[in-house]
Amino acid sequence: MMPQRNTSHSRKPPYLFIALAVIFLAAGIVLGVRALNSWNAYTVAAAITPTPSPTVRPIAVTAAPDLTTYTPAPTATPGALSTGSSGDMVRQMQQRLKDLGFLNGSVDGQFGSGTKKAVVAFQKQHGLDADGIAGSKTLAVLYSDQAASYVPTPTPHVTNVTAGDIPLLVNKWNKLPDDFEPAELVTIKDLAGDLFLYEDSKFQGVREAVEALIRMIQAAKADGITPWKIGGAYRTIKDQQRIFDNRVSRYLSEHEGATRSQAVSNTRLTVADPGCSEHHTGLAFDLNVPDQFFVDTAQYIWLKQHCWDYGFIMRYTDDKEDLTGIIGEEWHIRYVGVQHAKNIQSLDYCLEEYVDYLKNRH
Ligand SMILES: [Zn+2]
C-alpha cells in the first residue's frame, strides 16, 4: 500500500513543487527588494560603511525588520560619523553642534572639514578624545543634557617680547594683559638637559633668553661654579594667582591672629600681584643653590659679575626697592639682551630708571 501511494504521488509533485517554488520565489523577491530598500535607506541615514552583503538579505525568508522607520538612538549608533560621512545622521549632528555654538557652517548633511573642526572643539571642551570622529561616546555626550554650549578660549597675545628698542617693563604699575603669551616659549630642560637642577622640569622661557641662560651657566660651570637650580621661570596669570594665594595662606597659618589684609600686604613684599609678575614675560628666571641662601654662595658672586655679558640684569636690589616695588631678590635675573644689560650695568640703573631714560631720549 505504501509504495503504491508513493508512486501515485510521485507523478503529481512536480506541478505542486513548481507552483510552490514560484510563490516562494515571488515572496522572496518582494521581501528581498523591500529589505534591500529598507537597508539602503537606513545606511544612507546612518551613513554606515561598510554596507551589509546584499546576497544574504534578498533570499531571507523571515522578514527583515522595517528599518525605514527606524531612527537609531544616539547611544546605540552602530557606526561612527567621520569625514566623508553623509546623510540624516550627519545633518542631525550638525544641527545639534550648531545649536550649541560649535558649528558655524551650514547644516548640509555632509561631514566635511568644518564639521570635523566642530566635533574636535566639542570633544575638547567635554574631555573626550579630540579625534574629530563622532563615535558612540561623543554622540552620547552630544545629545545628552551634559552637552555644554561652546565656550571660546581667548586667543593669547603672542608677542615677540625681545624685539623693540625699549625692554619690556612689567611691575605693579605696568601690568601685562591677562591673556599675554610670549612668542617662542621653549621648555628649558629640553634645551639644557642636566645643566641645571629644576624645581619643575616643565619650566619654560622665551627661546632667546633660555639660550643665553644656557651659555651663561655653561661658562660658570667651566669656571668651576656649580650646581645651579632653576626655581622659577615663565609663569602664566594662573600660576601667579596660585603662588600668591599659597603665600597668603601660608602667612595666615604661620601667624596666628593675623588678618587677611596683613597676609596680603606681607605677601606683596616678595610676590607680585597676579598680572604684575615679570615671570609672565618668559624672560625672567630665579636661580638658586639647593639648601643654601643664594647671597652666601659662589654662584651669586659669579652671577653678579658675569650676567651682564650674557644679556641678563640683576632685576631687584635692595637699594632700588622704592623704584621696583620689590625687595632685593638676588636670585632673580631678567633677560634684556647684551647691549641693554651692559648699559644698565654701567649706568647703575634699575629697569624702571633705564626705561624712563630711554623714553626721554627718544
Ligand atoms: Zn623671580
**Positions of the chain with pLDDT under 70:** 1-78, 153-163, 362
Ligand 1 geometric centre to CA of 287 (Å): 8
Examine the domain organization and report whether 217 and 292 are in the same domain: yes
pLDDT at 14: 58
Q: What is the CATH number of the domain that holds 78?
A: 1.10.101.10
Q: How far is the CA of 286 from the centre of ligand 1 (A)?
A: 5
Residues in Cβ contact with 339 at an 8 Å cutoff, skipping those fewer than 6 apart: none
Residue 91, helix vs strand vs coil: helix
CA of residue 279 to ligand 1 center, whole Å: 6
DSSP per residue, 38-79: HHHHHHHHHT-SSPPPTTTSTT-SSPPP-GGG----GGG-SS
Using the mean position of ligand 1's atoms as its centre, give its distance from the Cα of residue 284 in Å.
Answer: 6
Please give the order of strands across the beta sheet that includes 312-316: 197-198, 229-232, 284-288, 329-335, 312-316
Q: Are residues 331 and 225 in the same domain?
A: yes
| Whole-number Å distance between alpha carbons of 23 and 19 | 6
Distance from the CA of 321 to the center of ligand 1, in angstroms? 14
Do 97 and 216 reside in the same domain of the chain? Answer: no
Count of domains forming the chain: 3
310: CA distance to ligand 1 center in Å? 18
Instruction: Report how many helices (DSSP H) and strands (DSSP E) the chain contains, helices first.
Output: 13, 9
Between the CA of 252 and the centroid of ligand 1 the distance, in Å, is 22
287 and 330 Cβ atoms separated by less than 8 Å: no
Residue 97: which domain range? 74-142
Among 69, 90, 119, residue at a domain's last position: 69
Distance 69 CA to ligand 1 centre (A): 67
Residue 16 CB neighbours (<10 A): 10
CA torsion angle 238 244 250 256 (round to 10)? -130
- CATH, residue 285: 3.30.1380.10
Q: How many CB atoms lie within 10 A of CB 169?
A: 16
- Sign (positive/negative) of CA torsion 232, 238, 240, 244? negative
Q: For residues 228 and 326, state if they share a domain.
A: yes
Is 120 found in the same domain as 99? yes
Does residue 154 have a cis peptide bond before it, meaning omega lies within 30 degrees of 0? no
82 and 57 in a single domain? The answer is: no
**Co-location of 208 and 287 in the same domain:** yes
pLDDT attached to residue 154: 61
What separation in Å is there between the alpha carbon of 332 and the centre of ligand 1?
A: 5
pLDDT score, position 5:
44
Residue 149 lies in a domain: no
Residue 125, in any domain of the structure:
yes
- Please indicate, yes or no, if residue 262 is contained in any of the structural domains: no
pLDDT at 233: 97
Task: State the pLDDT at residue 188.
Answer: 98
Which residue, of 15, 47, 69, is where some domain finishes?
A: 69
Contacts of 161-165 with C-beta under 8 Å, sequence gap 24+, read: 161/206, 161/281, 161/282, 161/283, 162/206, 162/208, 162/209, 162/283, 162/335, 162/337, 165/358, 165/362
**pTM exceeds 0.75, yes or no:** no
Domain end point (choices 13, 39, 69): 69
